Amino acid sequence: MADALIQRRPDRILPIVTGVGLILIAALAVYLLWPTANPAAQRERVIQEITVLQPPPPPPPPEPEEKIMEEEPEIVEPTDDPKVQEDVDTPVETPTDAPPSPTPSSEAAGLDRAADAGSDSFRLAAGKGGGLFGRGGGGGGGGGWGAFVETHVRRALQRDPRTRSANGFVRVALSIDPNGRFVGAALRSTTGDNKLDAAIRDVLSGLPPLGRGRPPKVEGLTNATINMKRTDG
């Protein structure tokens, strides 16, 4: 009886082992094939995880600039109005009876050359005492101003070694600007010595400016008589 039981056990165990093995094999197959068993579900899960950023919308196009219409200049057409032509073509009458303008004479300008020959560096010739500078001696620009100018010229003559020892009187014509500078000078008399006259003209052509300006009411042309003899002061 014991031998009969031993013979029956292998027949019962084999189907059990076989069934368990098939179950394990089936479970393993299901486990291995599960990720690819439903590809649609897998793709849907991956697509949901990806977020695509949309680019910003393009900026609006700039508005076109308004064109500024330039105004065309108005063209004025010439008119054929005879009245206008008459006004344009009418000549302006000029008076024919007007006297001719007087021309200054050499005597009025103080440029007459009868008294002495030669001229100074200011191109003013020696005169005979007439003309614009008047006749006779004395300062032509007022007592105080004339005496001031005469003293200035006398001291200049006394500083020059060529005229320092000369005696007598000489008449001169001087042109002085408002700032007290000499712009013209002429010897209007003669000493009788040509060399001395030339030295006097040389001194007159280089007179230094006065210590003050010419008074407003005094004319620029001054007639003066200079005492060549040395005096105090």
Classify residue 205 by burial, with Cβ atoms within 10 Å: 0-12, 13-18, 19+: middle
In-domain check, residue 69: no
Mean pLDDT lowest for which of 19-23, 85-89, 189-193?
85-89
In-domain check, residue 47: no
Q: What is the pLDDT of residue 181?
A: 93
In-domain check, residue 216: yes
pLDDT in tens, 152-174: 999 999 999 999 988 889 999 99
Backbone angles phi, psi at 227, to 5 degrees: -85, 110
Specify the CATH number for the domain of residue 183.
3.30.1150.10
In-domain check, residue 37: no
Q: What is the pLDDT of residue 129?
A: 36
Q: How far apart are CA 176 and CA 217, in angstroms?
A: 13
Count of structural domains, the chain: 2
In-domain check, residue 168: yes
Mean pLDDT lowest for which of 21-25, 30-34, 224-228?
30-34
Q: List the domain range (segments joined by +) for residue 181.
A: 131-227
- The amino acid at residue 199 is A
* Structure token pair of residue 60: 């609006």
In-domain check, residue 70: no
**Residue 183 and residue 175 in contact, taking contact as beta carbons nearer than 8 Å:** yes
In-domain check, residue 223: yes
Helices marked H in 94-189: 143-159
In-domain check, residue 8: yes
Instruction: Return the SS3 of 169.
Output: strand
